[in-house]
Chains A and B, each alone.
Chain A
Amino acid sequence: MIRTFRQHSILPGFGLTMGFTVFYLSLIVLIPLSAVFLKTFTMGWGQFWETVTGARALASYRLSIGASLIAAGINSVLGLLAAWVLVCYEFPGKRIVDALVDLPFALPTAVAGITLTAMFAGNGWVGSWLEPLGIKVAFTWLGVVVALTFIGLPFVVRTVQPVLLELDPEIEEAAATLGASRWQSLRRVVFPELLPALLTGFSLAFARAVGEYGSVIFISGNMPMKTEITPLLIVTKLANYDYAGATALAVAMLGMSFVLLLFINMLQWWSRTRYA
């Protein structure tokens, strides 16, 4: 049966490796994940709807999605700038800076959480500068944006960087020869090439931010209706043994990020066909 399922190859081990892959994937990922959906089916539709549209839940979506969009937006602008500077210019310490961009990928989220809180609290290194200006970051929604910007930082840089490196300088030279100003050639020639990668980076940063928990809960202050993100609300429900409520929110969150990512994928597809 396997013979007909796959094309013939002289290499051995297809049955073994494929069997193990499917077995382990099902055991660790697929069966546990399907538990979430099975659990929601045990709730009535009315109960589900009531949970996911409760006032506290709605406020948490607004914060989670809003702050994630802002953070991914900040990362798109500053990440594009950082990628540009790291690829196109030379400056002392560039290799260290380049390696450090991966820090938010590798730094445990709880460490990021307590550290950013210490930095941005009223008596912190940065907070003590901002507080006199009337800007409170820690324990407000701004703190959530700061944490989500931190954890999403590498995505745009790392998706745009390779495209920028691959970009043929001759295209820009051609544009310059044809009389385009530097700005024109950037806007009309370079930017369209980067746009799909930029959108990919944006959506990765956004998707990561929506589900983020560890780095946010320390800096946000966790006030219900004000600075409570959806993942925290799920944890709160779980701590009260409200499994059904927690699961309903989880499904709502998965559904919303799925729809948003679908939208961004369509946008990406559009930008590819338009500029390709």
Chain B
Amino acid sequence: MLMAMIAANNGNSRNGTGGLAEPPWLRLVLISSTLLFLGLFLVLPLIVVFTEAFKKGVEVYIESVREPDAAAAIRLTLTAAAIAVPLNLIFGVAAAWAIAKFQFPGKSFLVTLIDLPFSVSPVISGLIFVLLFGLQGWLGPWLSDHDIKIIFAVPGIVLATIFVTFPFVARELIPLMQSQGSDEEEAARTLGAGGWQTLWRVTLPNVKWGLLYGVILCNARAMGEFGAVSVVSGHIRGYTNTIPLHAEILYNEYNSTAAFAMASLLTILTLVTIALKAFIDRKSRSEVRAVSKRMLTEG
């Protein structure tokens, strides 16, 4: 039965033609070793998170999620994401507009700089803010004179979150808007549309799936970031702990059920994120196709 399904190669796959395909037994070996690897590394962890979280029953699970420190961690995580995601969204749209719609020298250098936070270790992302705002940091003495706390307080967590999620929206939008060109915007302008009108009515509808894609990935990272946030947080229970940090503390206290309850919340977020991503993948492919088709027929 399985052999038959594997052998029945439909038109979607590349090596459909008889002479080029591997023999069925080899296929079966390749497919099952891939599934074994991916099952061990992708599926089993998911099962483990939920089994560990519900080990002591549903009541204990609900109790661990509703406990005051956990609730505070959930609130802080939501707050940090609620600030970081919109800011990086506005930045992403602005950067993509400047880079995709205009020609200027140094463009590829600018794109490289925007990608920088992705190539920096999370620990270093936290470290830079400690160096700036920490007690021995550049601005530390001035801040403590004015009684402003950034490191080991909420502003530091928000800053670190903004830094690590900085490129997500921009790097989705830049290539998409570059591939779409600016013919439609120019047409709108010629017909008398204002700049904002052009952005709202022409550009954004054309890139809506790419935009959403960037936003959900940005959000997932904002809520799940650990290293950078851990460096600036100081781990003050009920005050500067995000969900991942709270999970770490519980885990180190050997309260594994509660730690996995926290982890399960983030895992649900992850599953929603990748389901949406897979959905948008299909939609955005049609977005690119629709635009290029429109340009073919109209141009």
A interface list, Cβ under 8 A from B: 5-7, 9-14, 16-18, 20-21, 24-25, 28-33, 35-36, 38-39, 78, 81-82, 84-92, 95, 97-112, 114-116, 118-119, 124-126, 149-150, 153, 164-165, 167, 169, 172-173, 176, 182, 185, 207, 210-214, 218, 231-232, 234-235, 238, 241, 243, 246-247, 250, 253-254, 257
**Residue B121 contacts which of A16, A119, A210 (CB distance < 8 angstroms)?**
A210
**Residue B120 contacts which of A33, A111, A172 (CB distance < 8 angstroms)?**
A33
| Interchain CB contact under 8 A, A243 and B131 | yes
B82 contacts across to A, CB distance below 8 A = none
In the complex, whether B79 has a CB less than 8 A from a CB of chain A is no
| Interchain CB contact under 8 A, A108 and B195 | no
| Interchain CB contact under 8 A, B104 and A97 | no
| Interchain CB contact under 8 A, A167 and B9 | no
A105 to B159, CA, bound (A): 21
A108 to B264, CA, bound (A): 11
B interface list, Cβ under 8 A from A: 2, 5-6, 8-10, 12-17, 19-20, 22, 27, 30-31, 33-35, 37-38, 40-46, 48-49, 52, 87, 90-91, 94-95, 97-99, 101-105, 110, 113-114, 116-117, 119-124, 127-132, 134-138, 159, 162-163, 166, 182, 185-186, 189-190, 194-195, 198-199, 217, 220, 223-227, 230-231, 244-245, 247-248, 251, 256, 259-260, 263, 266-267, 270, 273-275, 277-278
Q: Which residue of A lies closest to B140 (CB)?
A: A243
A235 contacts across to B, CB distance below 8 A = 123, 230-231
* Given A11-B195, A250-B121, 18 further pairs, Cβ under 8 A: A6-B103, A9-B102, A9-B103, A35-B137, A82-B38, A88-B14, A92-B2, A100-B43, A109-B227, A112-B45, A114-B251, A119-B44, A165-B14, A176-B20, A210-B121, A213-B122, A235-B230, A250-B123
Chain B: minimal CB distance from A184 (Å): 12
**Residue B274 contacts which of A21, A106, A164 (CB distance < 8 angstroms)?**
A106
| Interchain CB contact under 8 A, A211 and B121 | yes
| Interchain CB contact under 8 A, A85 and B31 | yes
Q: Which residue of B lies closest to A237 (CB)?
A: B127
B interface majority secondary structure: helix
| Interchain CB contact under 8 A, A218 and B251 | yes
A234 to B131, CA, bound (A): 13
Chain B: minimal CB distance from A217 (Å): 9
